[in-house]
Structure 1
Amino acid sequence: MIVAMLRVMALSLIRDRGALVMAFLLPPTIFVIFAAIFAGTSGDELRLQVALGVGEPSSLSERLVAALRADDSLRVLPETYATADQVVDEVESGRADVGLMLQGALEQTTSTPAVVYVDPGKVMAGAILAGQVQRVIGIDLPDLALARSAPTIETLVGGFTPEQSARLDAAIAQLAENGSSDAENQAGLVESRTVGPQDGSGATVTYYAGAVAILFLLFSAMQSAATLIEERHSGIIDRIAVGPAGTDVVVIGKFLFLSVQGIVQVSLIFLVAALVYDVEVISHLGIWLLTTLVAAAAAAGLGLAVAALCTTKQQAQTISTFVVLLCSAVGGSMVPRFMMPPWLQEIGWFTPNAWTIEAYHGVLWRGEGLAELLPELSWLLALGMVGTLAALAVSRLRLRL
């Protein structure tokens, strides 16, 4: 009997081609995604998007800018900004992961000439950029390192003689020409400052509130939408189809239910975030509610489309798990997208997770209004409508077959 039971289950899986493919395709696919993410965080594929500004142009700043733009570990925005406010605006808007402003003469030691501007929710990005700047200077501008350390040494030893000063100037000129990296002391060169509200935990909580919200929206929508398959097999849809509206009432009714269910789920998540972590939901209630509505609609539409396309409940469970895990891993629900390789970040824009997280972060952290959020809201609404229309079309087609 044991062997017979094994044979029955094996045949059931083999005959369900969709479930068979997804059962053995899902594990290696998820492994590849996470391997790409975490290998990138410790290698050359982690390429931060940097907004770069130069307040006092000089030959040294031009060399540093050129070296930073040539560095494969960074993605410097094409424009070089003239003020710190412009750099901060790029970081606060999310168009850049982190900003760097060269605001003074680099060789001076009386003030910090390079300032890194970082979003409190991306503190790691600021530390990484500061380290990259130090590394680039040590490799490509060793003369700057020596020039900055020379005044400190001169103070400690009581001053240089004219001959020593001449030899020091010659050594600096030689380093500038040859690019040797023997000197690597750039103390006081880089300073980090946070932008926006000065509460890193609040930024992180806001990010993950949106990330968890869309994750559970997808899970619940996929699970509830699978009842469409059970109703199809039990003949309920055939009996409803006799009516004037056909199968449309089933799909539209499920869409409305899933959307309302999603709104309640997200409301509970953000209620806890507001009460426990002081996330400002009430002050942005209108735009937050609109974001929640379109996010729930997107999850409902996607869930119904998957359920309509699947032929068995086992197939629906496997495919829905695959879709949810894939979207969540690539879209930023599990790991922040700025830590991913650039190619994976681009793929993430094809998931509802990335758009939902950006929308919630824009509403609750950056204080964006409807005009700024139109791309995110439009994409999510379009996904919900396309998914629902696909479910309607497939349901009608199955009724004719």
Structure 2
Amino acid sequence: MAVAGAWARGFWRDRSGMALTLVLPPLVYLLFAAVFGAGARGDIDASVALHDAARTPAAAAVGEALSRDLGPRLRRLDDAQAVERAVIDGRADAGVLITRDDAGAPQLTVVSAAGRDVAAAALQARLVPAAAALAGRPAPPSRDVPVRQVGPQGDVQAAYYAGAVSVMFVFFAAMHGAMGGLDERRSGLQARLALARGGTAPILAGRAIWLTTVGLMQSAAVFLAAWPRLPDLAFWQAAAALLTAALVALCAAGVALALTAACRSREQAQPLTTFVALLLAALGGSMAPRFLMPEAFRALGWITPHAWAVETYQALIWRGDFNAGVLAGWAALGGVGLAGIALAVMMEHRRAGR
């Protein structure tokens, strides 16, 4: 009991650590319930691209009904090819084409891409009453609203989760590895190394290089395990994916070093880094595709490195696209990583000068 009492007093004195231990778990629960609850209930805030090729009053009424239902998540495009491109590129979760059948009556078709079957099914269910109204009969079965899949075919889940899971574990490993610096600071080793090396910048640069190397090896291990289920990759795709993995590892190293530099002890850093790693993974799409999330969380996900990394991997590996989105993803990952390292150097330098 004496030992338990001593530990309890230490726990009570560490107010920040106590707050992280007792406050973060319910916050994580509330966050996960909000992020994933809608998808589990089937309330998916899918973004939809629409093209009306029929141009009849009935088709216009369907478009207006969808506009009222989806609001700003509905985009009207000029032709069917634009709808298909939007769905393939991920700018829309699903598409709707309104055409005419052989009798001249409006016909609804859902456009989907591999891996977005849930979004297509939810949109298909929404369109059943509209198809019934166009046909002038009670609600028909869902097969009367056909689904047409566009884009690459194959095991999109393998490609998606190879990137998503690798990003998540690279960040977890970086958070864990960076906490070794707290032990060096507490023991005085960091101060002695700083005197020998002329400051804390070389020390943190060395840590960043090591954490980046470990993260790159982790990503390589995940992609090697997923390789048999990935599409055939051209040399440039493999090289670009390797660069993406290196930038993800650099980003994770920078974030981890900045977080641990802000903490006074390992007891503070452990719950904080775990919470941040879980938060970034949940919002960024490492745990579940972001189209399953409510619209607000999907938009918020773009502040996470995970969302940029996952989208970059998808563009390179699955769609085989090298576009401005890939360059933006690289810039975001590299920028966050370098900013995190610079922030860590600044905080450690200020602490050493006290």
Q: Shorter-chain-normalised TM-score: which range?
A: over 0.9
CA 136–11 in structure 1, closer or farther in 2 if over 3 Å, else same: farther
Matches within 5 A, 1:212-231: 212-231=165-184
Deviation at 1:45, TM superposition (A): 5.2
Aligned to 1:296: 249
Cα deviation for residue 372 of structure 1 reads 3.4
SS of 1:194's equivalent in the other structure is: strand
Runs of 4+ in 1 over 6 A off after TM superposition: none
Determine if the alignment matches structure 1 residue 277 to structure 2 residue 226.
no
Superposed, which structure 2 residues align to 1:2-401 within 5 Å? 3-41=1-39, 46-72=44-70, 75-77=73-75, 80-104=76-100, 113-137=107-131, 142=133, 144-146=134-136, 149=137, 183-185=138-140, 189-199=144-154, 202-243=155-196, 245-274=198-227, 276-281=228-233, 283=235, 284-369=237-322, 371-401=324-354
Moved more, 129-138 or 384-393: 129-138
Greater mean deviation of Cα atoms: 234-243 or 31-40: 31-40
RMSD between aligned residues: 2.1
Identity of aligned residues (%): 32
Q: CA deviation at 1:81?
A: 2.1
Task: Report the CA distance between 1:93 and its aligned residue.
Answer: 1.1
Stretches of structure 2 that go unaligned for 5 or more consecutive residues are none
Amino acid corresponding to residue 241 of structure 1 in structure 2: A
Name the TM-score, length of structure 2 as normaliser: 0.94
Aligned partners of 2:12 and 2:18 also within 8 Å = yes
C-alpha separation in 1, matches of 2:182 and 2:11: 18
Distance in 1 (CA, whole Å) between partners of 2:205 and 2:38 is 43
Partners of 1:17 and 1:352 lie apart in 2 by 30
* Distance (whole Å) between structure 1 residues aligned to residue 190 and residue 255 of structure 2: 20
- Distance, in Å, in 1 between the alignment partners of 2:222 and 2:306 is 16
CA contact (8 A) 2:164 2:306 kept: yes
Q: Deviations over 1:172-230 (max 9, x none)?
A: xxxxxxxxxxx32367541111111222xx21111111110111111110011001101
Q: Secondary structure at the match of 2:128?
A: helix
Kept in 2: contact 1:106–1:113 (CA 8 A): no
Deviation, structure 1 residue 238: 1.1
**TM-score, reference length from structure 1:** 0.83
| Range that drifts further, 184-193 or 344-353 | 184-193
Cα deviation for residue 105 of structure 1 reads 5.2
Q: 1 CA distance for matches of 2:130 and 2:41?
A: 16
8 Å CA contact retained: 1:217, 1:296 = yes
Query: Is the Cα–Cα contact under 8 Å of residues 51 and 98 in structure 1 kept in the other structure?
Result: yes
* Superposition deviation, residue 82 in structure 1: 3.2
The question of whether the paired residues in 2 share the 8 Å contact of 1:205 and 1:273 is answered with yes
- Asked if structure 1 preserves the Cα contact closer than 8 Å seen for 2:108 and 2:131, the reply is no
Alpha-carbon distance in 1 for matches of 2:300, 2:153: 31
* Contact 1:331 1:354 (C-alpha < 8 Å) held by counterparts: yes
More displaced 10-residue stretch of structure 1: 51-60 or 24-33: 24-33
2:283 is aligned with what amino acid? V
CA 1:370 to 1:130, structure 2 compared with 1: closer, same or farther past 3 Å?
A: closer
Distance in 2, matches of 1:222 and 1:119, equals 35
Q: What is the Cα deviation at residue 137 of structure 1?
A: 4.9
- Distance in 2 between residues matched to 1:249 and 1:269, nearest whole Å: 30
Q: Match of 2:320, SS?
A: coil
Distance 2:89 2:330 in 1: 16
Mapped to 1, the partners of 2:323 and 2:64 lie a distance apart of 38
CA contact (8 A) 1:308 1:394 kept: yes
Q: Distance in 2 between matches of 1:107 and 1:44?
A: 35
CA distance in 1, matches of 2:63, 2:26: 41
Q: Is contact 1:218-1:299 (8 Å) kept?
A: yes
Distance (Å, rounded) in 1 between the aligned partners of 2:36 and 2:213: 36
**One-letter identity of the residue aligned with 2:69:** D
**Structure 1 residues 63 and 370: alpha-carbon distance in aligned structure 2, compared to 1, 3 A threshold:** closer
Counterpart code for 1:21: A
Partners of 1:230 and 1:186 in 2: how far apart? 64
Deviation string 1:143-165 (CA, Å, 9 cap, x unpaired) is x232xx5xxxxxxxxxxxxxxxx
Mapped partners of 1:46, 1:130: distance in 2: 12
Task: Provide closer, same or farther for how the CA distance between residues 34 and 365 of structure 1 changes in structure 2, counting only shifts above 3 A.
Answer: same
Deviation per residue, 1:114-161 (Å, 9 max, x gap): 2211111111111111111113455xxx3x232xx5xxxxxxxxxxxx
Larger Rg: 1
Shift in CA distance, 31/88, structure 1 to aligned 2, threshold 3 Å: same
Aligned equivalents of 1:48, 1:74: Cα separation in 2: 11
Query: 390-399 or 347-356, which moves further after superposition?
Result: 347-356
- Partner Cα distance (2:127, 2:88) in 1: 21
Query: Contact conserved, 1:145 with 1:184, CA < 8 A, in 2?
Result: no
Q: For 2:102 and 2:129, how far apart are their aligned partners in 1?
A: 15
TM-aligned CA distance change 1:322 to 1:372, over 3 Å: closer
From the superposition, tell whether residues 106 and 302 of structure 1 become closer, same or farther in structure 2 (CA, over 3 Å): farther
